[in-house]
Structure 1
Amino acid sequence: MGEQLNIGTWFEIAEWSFFSLLALALLGLVAVIARRYALERGGGAVECYLRPVHGRRRPWRIGCGRYGTDELRWYRIFSLWPRPAVELPRRGLVVVGRRSPEGEELRELTDDLVVVEVGWTAPDGSDPKEPVYELAMSDAALTGFLSWLESLPPGVPWRDDDDE
């Protein structure tokens, strides 16, 4: 007790701390890369940006959209969370508008992306007045998104029996 550490001991502690933090950072990077590989390996996934429209405009978040039978599941790229951050149900999902990135958006997006505004039909079947989300994706990804949106797998009814 009361014994002081010499400079060599402090250097050794700092060295071990540095290498421990470096190992943790590399482990985290490997985990993010492995998660992204797992999301994309099964097919039906596309890289796209997403942001909610309600309220004030929020920054774009890069992620991976994965097409399912009933919804588009959107995962953040730089996250280890196994569940999707956003699920966009397919039933009633419509494209409200399409445009190129403009103004301040070009700080976060490139000009070769297309911004698609999406929303859901109202209970009476009318088109939405305002978009709920914006997706930014390449032209090829947009073609796939629109194809997914307009098609249904075999055996899935377009409308429920109680809709008639």
Structure 2
Amino acid sequence: MALDIFTGVVAVAVFLCIRGFALARRRGTVMCRVRHGQGGWRSGVARYTGGELHWIPFLGLRLRPRHAIARRGLTVSSRRRLTTGEGPAGYWTVVCSAERGPLVLAMSEDALTGFLAWLESAPPSAHLDAA
């Protein structure tokens, strides 16, 4: 009985490691953390798909995105480099205003440059709704 439980736990751990490695290596993805409210950071990957940013957490069994953030109406409220105790060294935090409320992302400087370019490359009509 104990051997079966141990085998099951090891199988799930191996699956999560392979899943995380596959997500991180997938073309067009960047490492990105998400925070809602005053909670902690959740690690995952972000992928640009048309007019949406899909965020997939590292811990989880689903391969589908947990968040699909529409570019339409998304605006950057502020951005700054994370301090030593806040998160990974060299990461930037970006506070965005979205339709569902504020969203806080943390990403590397290269990923931030790509994110800002993605936002700016939206069609002119995409920012008409933004208030």
TM-score (norm 1): 0.66
Q: Does 1:73 align with 2:54?
A: yes
Alignment gaps of 5+ in structure 1: 1-15, 122-130
Which residue of structure 1 lines up, in the alignment, with residue 10 of structure 2?
26
How far off is 1:158 after superposition?
Answer: 3.8
CA 1:59 to 1:46, structure 2 compared with 1: closer, same or farther past 3 Å?
same
Which residue of structure 2 lines up, in the alignment, with residue 4 of structure 1?
none
| Corresponding residue pairs, total | 126
Alignment gaps of 5+ in structure 2: none
2:111 aligns with one of 131, 134, 141:
141
How far off is 1:42 after superposition?
Answer: 4.0
Larger RCO (alpha carbons 8 Å, 6+ apart): 2
Matches within 5 A, 1:37-56: 37-53=21-37
1:115 aligns with one of 93, 112, 117:
93
Moved over 2 A (4+): 33-42, 100-103, 157-160
Question: Partner letter of residue 44 of structure 1?
Answer: G
Which has more strand, going by share of residues? 2
Q: Percent identity?
A: 35
The alignment partner of 1:72 has SS state of strand
Question: Partner letter of residue 86 of structure 1?
Answer: H
Q: What is the CA deviation profile of residues 52-107 of structure 1, one whole-angstrom value per residue up to 9, with x for unaligned ones?
A: 23xxx11111111111102111111011123211111111211110112248xx25
Which residue of structure 2 lines up, in the alignment, with residue 128 of structure 1?
none
The alignment partner of 1:147 has SS state of helix
Question: Partner letter of residue 23 of structure 1?
Answer: T
Q: Distance in 2 between matches of 1:31 and 1:111?
A: 28
Question: Partner letter of residue 89 of structure 2?
Answer: D
TM-score (norm 2): 0.81
